[in-house]
């Protein structure tokens, strides 16, 4: 397959590029490097099956030759990133998504949108199944990300309904692993970097809020299965439990961890003596978030297999290397 | 003031243009006539304070000279319209809104977004205040409108926060009046046209769902007050009851009517002998919708004053004229 991966120089994008290359596919990585990093993809640049395009997808991307799939991952994805780039975040999920849907349509390609558990907002049900409509503040500071992704999903479904495009939507929950940016502001990056540097571990709120953390190899395995799964026939009108592969699928680890416990585990694993410091909870921060992955199990025969301890071992090793220690 | 009104050839747009002209302002009406009608604005075209631009705002609109305000109303707004034009509906609320925000920013103009009660989706609270986050299906057929407007609001707030743009967001509830399209598929247009033509009145569901209907002169008065209100100083960070004019304001009539009662009133007022026919409820049709207008009362000293019977009298007269009867 010849696939386009937007945001391919980001954390998740990098891993998807690596996986698709290892499976023998041709990968065209499109990234404007707003939050992605060239170093994430350096090792692929000698690979003749890989090409990098420095391009902002809010401008149409024109390309000769066939394309079998477009994976639209581009978007600032961590809270500090999307709060720093609020308008770009909305633009890539609206204008960018429209441009990539048009490209997929022009090429007759499959389209995979990487959406997010943030479409559930601060959920009033737990765990969240794909049927849940979410509880999102449309005008809060975080709305630049949440509403960008909700609009992306709406656009994707509209192209499926109006043009019969073969679309898929992955709703990705918290994911971690090597090649995260040390300064991306996510819980695990923060804690590991702080622990390794002997700084205070910063917990927002009282730490009793839970998160589910999926190790990146598990997540990418789920994405690849979504991308390669056979299309349903005419499922766009189906509803309820009959939802097929063209409807959103949660990808994440259903094991819930309290943020305060994650801090403790990381402190232990790094042998750090860093204390924990509690800060006020940011606006509209979700109290809990845990995927119901029944659909992924059923449609993709997928579930996470890497334990938090295994995953953290790899991340700690990676960040130690980043720090040169 | 020199103001741009996008969607100015639509039902509400037409009334806002008329009102602003009558107040002595200069009106630049921008409309691609996808669902708007040239005949709606015919009577202004001899007025030197009025100009019409046939233009689709998903392409940037370039204009010489000063602009004091941009009122962004363009969007297919009735369910049959946005279901017929799903992608255009999403585009005008994302790309179009971004372009109009950029225009306002370039001109140093005030920006008023006409949003919708649809951002509340199928609400779990009644009446809906502006603090309510809504219950919207991001992937249903109606999401093309609901998520388009939610993304518009998020974009508008992002421009306010990032660039200090003087923005306002009106959340408009059901509105009716002369110059509605007879075929726009809204409850009142349907009922009046059916009653006048001696056809069955079509009720979706059992008719017990309620709607609030605001007469167009009331609604436009609210919009004008929002547009002309003084800006708050630095209210972007305020929350709760301190929300100022730059936060969303509900505009609508809080008087709730059961759909079945509206059918009965219209049958009586038209002297029609049309029977009522019940049809299945469309996907995700809201069961109730009623504005809490406390903020509009407090900030704008506004509330509706036209009764349903007065308003219907005007609509029946208008549609009779349309039918040439």
Q: What are phi and psi of A203, to 5 degrees?
A: -110, 130
CATH at residue A10: 3.40.50.720
- Other CB atoms closer than 10 Å to residue B7's CB: what's the count? 28
For residue A134, the distance in angstroms to the closest alpha carbon of chain B comes to 7
> What's the pLDDT band for B239 if we cut at 50, 70, 90?
very low
Task: Return the pLDDT at A238.
Answer: 45
Angle of CA points B286, A119, A203, to nearest 5°: 130
Q: Which of B158, B68, B179 is nearest to A151 (CA)?
A: B158
- Residue at B265 is within a domain: no
- Residue at A266 is within a domain: no
Contact B95 A90 (CB under 8 A): no
> Mean pLDDT, to the nearest integer, of A29-57?
97
> What's the pLDDT band for A325 if we cut at 50, 70, 90?
low
Cβ proximity of A272 and A257 under 8 Å: no
Is the predicted pLDDT of residue B73 greater than 60, yes or no? yes
> What's the pLDDT band for B282 if we cut at 50, 70, 90?
confident
Dist CA A241 CA A236 (whole Å): 13
Contact A147 B144 (CB under 8 A): no
Best residue in A105, A138, A146 for a mutation probing chain B (most B CBs within 10 Å):
A138
Of the listed A120, A145, A159, A215, which one is catalytic? A145
Active-site residue, A85 included: no
Q: Which of A159, A160, A156, A1 is nearest to A65 (CA)?
A: A1
To the nearest 10°, report the CA torsion of B267, B270, B272, B274: -40
**Token code pair at residue A247:** 């409807």
Strands (E), chain A: 2-6, 26-31, 50-54, 69-72, 110-116, 167-172, 175-176, 201-204, 210-212, 214-215, 249-251, 256-258, 276-279
Q: Crossing angle of helices A259-270/A187-196, nearest 10°?
A: 30
Nearest CB to A139; choose among B86, B146, B154:
B154
For residue A163, the distance in angstroms to the closest alpha carbon of chain B comes to 10
Of the listed B120, B145, B159, B215, which one is catalytic? B145
Nearest CB to B139; choose among A90, A95, A247:
A247
Task: Return the pLDDT at A144.
Answer: 98
- Residue at B187 is within a domain: no
Q: How far apart are the first and last CA of chain A?
A: 40
Cβ proximity of B100 and B55 under 8 Å: no
- Enter the DSSP assignment of A7: T
> Mean pLDDT, to the nearest integer, of A136-162?
97
Dist CA A17 CA A3 (whole Å): 9
Dist CA A160 CA A4 (whole Å): 19
Dist CA A148 CA A89 (whole Å): 7
- Reported as type and span, the H/E element at residue B2 is strand B2-6
Contacts of A158 in chain B (CB under 8 A): 86-87, 90, 143-144
**Token code pair at residue A239:** 């509803």
Residue with tokens 């940011």: A282
Domain count, chain A: 1
To the nearest 10°, report the CA torsion of B231, B236, B238, B244: 30
Nearest CB to A90; choose among B91, B143, B155:
B155
Cβ proximity of A144 and A82 under 8 Å: yes
Whole-number Cα distances in Å, A98 to A105, A161, B66, B87, B176: 10, 14, 32, 9, 33
Cβ proximity of B149 and B286 under 8 Å: no
> Mean pLDDT, to the nearest integer, of B235-255?
77
Mean pLDDT lowest among A183-187, A189-193, A246-250 = A183-187
Q: Across the A/B interface, how many CB contacts are shorter than 8 Å?
A: 116
For B8, residues 6+ apart whose C-beta sits below 8 A from its C-beta are: B14, B16, B17, B27, B29, B30, B31, B36, B41, B52, B73
The pLDDT tens digits for B97-128 are 999 999 999 999 999 999 999 999 999 999 99
> Mean pLDDT, to the nearest integer, of A162-182?
96
Contact B144 A154 (CB under 8 A): yes
In sequence order, which ranges of A229-287 are alpha helices (DSSP H)?
259-270
- Reported as type and span, the H/E element at residue B26 is strand B26-31
Contacts of B155 in chain A (CB under 8 A): 87, 90, 94
Q: Which of A171, A124, A97, A148 is nearest to B147 (CA)?
A: A148
Nearest CA in chain A to B59: A95
Contacts of A87 in chain B (CB under 8 A): 98, 155, 158-159, 162
For residue A152, the distance in angstroms to the closest alpha carbon of chain B comes to 9
The pLDDT tens digits for A73-128 are 999 999 999 999 999 999 999 999 999 999 999 999 999 999 999 999 999 999 99
Share of chain A above pLDDT 70, in %: 96
Which neighbouring-strand residues pair with A116?
A172
Task: Return the pLDDT at A241.
Answer: 45
Dist CA A272 CA A323 (whole Å): 15
Cβ proximity of A27 and A44 under 8 Å: yes
Nearest CB to A158; choose among B86, B153, B162:
B86
For A264, residues 6+ apart whose C-beta sits below 8 A from its C-beta are: none
Residue with tokens 């923005």: B167
Cβ proximity of A41 and A69 under 8 Å: no
For chain A, how many residues are written? Answer: 325
To the nearest 10°, report the CA torsion of B318, B320, B321, B325: -170
Dist CA B283 CA B243 (whole Å): 34
For B312, residues 6+ apart whose C-beta sits below 8 A from its C-beta are: B188, B192, B265, B266, B269
- Residue at B59 is within a domain: yes
Is the predicted pLDDT of residue A287 greater than 80, yes or no? no
- Other CB atoms closer than 10 Å to residue B322's CB: what's the count? 16
Share of chain B above pLDDT 90, in %: 89
Task: Return the pLDDT at A29.
Answer: 98
Residues of B near A (Cβ–Cβ under 8 Å) read 86-87, 90-91, 94-95, 98, 119, 121, 133-141, 143-144, 146-148, 150-151, 153-155, 157-159, 161-162, 169, 247-248
Nearest CA in chain A to B86: A158
- Reported as type and span, the H/E element at residue A13 is helix A11-22
**Token code pair at residue B94:** 């994302």
Is the predicted pLDDT of residue A239 greater than 70, yes or no? no
Cβ proximity of B182 and B189 under 8 Å: yes
Residue with tokens 């992704």: A149
Q: Provide the whole-model pTM.
A: 0.94
Dist CA B262 CA B190 (whole Å): 11
- Enter the DSSP assignment of A58: T
- Residue at A181 is within a domain: no
Task: Return the pLDDT at A233.
Answer: 52
Task: Return the pLDDT at A285.
Answer: 72
> Mean pLDDT, to the nearest integer, of A272-292?
86
Contact B143 A121 (CB under 8 A): no
Contacts of B280 in chain A (CB under 8 A): none
User: What's the distance, CA B270 to chain centroid?
Assistant: 26
Nearest CB to B150; choose among A138, A141, A161:
A138
Contact B247 A139 (CB under 8 A): yes
> What's the pLDDT band for B232 if we cut at 50, 70, 90?
confident
Nearest CB to A151; choose among B94, B133, B137:
B94
- Residue at A123 is within a domain: yes
β-strands B2-6, A276-279: how paired?
Answer: unpaired
Best residue in A147, A160, A239 for a mutation probing chain B (most B CBs within 10 Å):
A147
**Token code pair at residue A235:** 């499922």
Contacts of A151 in chain B (CB under 8 A): 90, 94, 147-148, 150-151
Nearest CB to B139; choose among A98, A148, A154:
A154
Best residue in A135, A158, A167, A244 for a mutation probing chain B (most B CBs within 10 Å):
A158
Task: Return the pLDDT at A289.
Answer: 84
For residue A247, the distance in angstroms to the closest alpha carbon of chain B comes to 8
To the nearest 10°, report the CA torsion of B80, B86, B90, B96: -80
- Reported as type and span, the H/E element at residue B263 is helix B259-270
Contact B162 A86 (CB under 8 A): yes
- Residue at B317 is within a domain: no
How confident is the prediction for chain A on average, in pLDDT? Answer: 94
Provide the domain limits for residue A85: 2-176+216-252+291-305
For residue A106, the distance in angstroms to the closest alpha carbon of chain B comes to 16
For A62, residues 6+ apart whose C-beta sits below 8 A from its C-beta are: none
- Residue at B168 is within a domain: yes
Residue with tokens 């043009």: A163
Contact A98 B98 (CB under 8 A): no
Dist CA A305 CA B57 (whole Å): 49
> Mean pLDDT, to the nearest integer, of A153-161?
98
User: What's the distance, CA A226 to chain centroid?
Assistant: 14
């Amino acid at each position: 397959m010849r696939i386009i991966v937007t945001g391919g120089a980001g954390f998740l994008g990098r891993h998807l590029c690596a996986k698709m290359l290892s499976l023998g596919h041709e990968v065209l990585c499109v990234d404007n490097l707003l939050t992605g990093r060239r170093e994430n993809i350096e090792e692929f640049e000698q690979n003749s099956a890989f090409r990098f395009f420095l391009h902002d997808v809010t401008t149409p991307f024109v390309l000769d030759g066939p394309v079998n799939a477009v994976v639209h991952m581009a978007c600032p994805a961590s809270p500090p990133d999307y709060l720093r780039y609020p308008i770009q975040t909305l633009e890539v999920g609206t204008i960018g998504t429209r441009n990539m849907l048009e490209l997929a349509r022009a090429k007759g390609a499959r389209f995979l949108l990487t959406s997010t558990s943030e479409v559930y907002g601060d959920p009033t049900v737990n765990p969240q199944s794909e049927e849940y409509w979410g509880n999102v503040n449309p005008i809060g500071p975080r709305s630049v990300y949440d509403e960008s992704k909700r609009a992306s999903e709406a656009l994707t479904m509209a192209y499926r309904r109006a043009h019969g495009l073969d679309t898929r939507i992955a709703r990705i929950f918290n994911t971690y692993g090597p090649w995260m940016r040390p300064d991306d502001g996510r819980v695990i990056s923060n804690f590991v970097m702080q622990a390794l540097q002997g700084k205070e571990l910063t917990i927002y709120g009282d730490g009793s809020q839970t998160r589910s953390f999926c190790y990146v190899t598990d997540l990418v395995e789920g994405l690849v299965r979504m991308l390669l799964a056979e299309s349903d026939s005419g499922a766009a009108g189906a509803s309820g439990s009959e939802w097929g592969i063209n409807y959103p699928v949660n990808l994440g680890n259903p094991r819930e961890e309290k943020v305060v416990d994650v801090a403790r585990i990381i402190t232990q694993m790094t042998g750090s003596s860093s204390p924990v410091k509690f800060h006020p909870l940011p606006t509209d921060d979700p109290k809990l978030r845990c995927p119901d992955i029944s659909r992924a199990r059923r449609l993709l025969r997928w579930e996470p297999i890497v334990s938090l301890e295994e995953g953290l071992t790899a991340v700690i090793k990676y960040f130690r290397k980043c720090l040169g220690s």
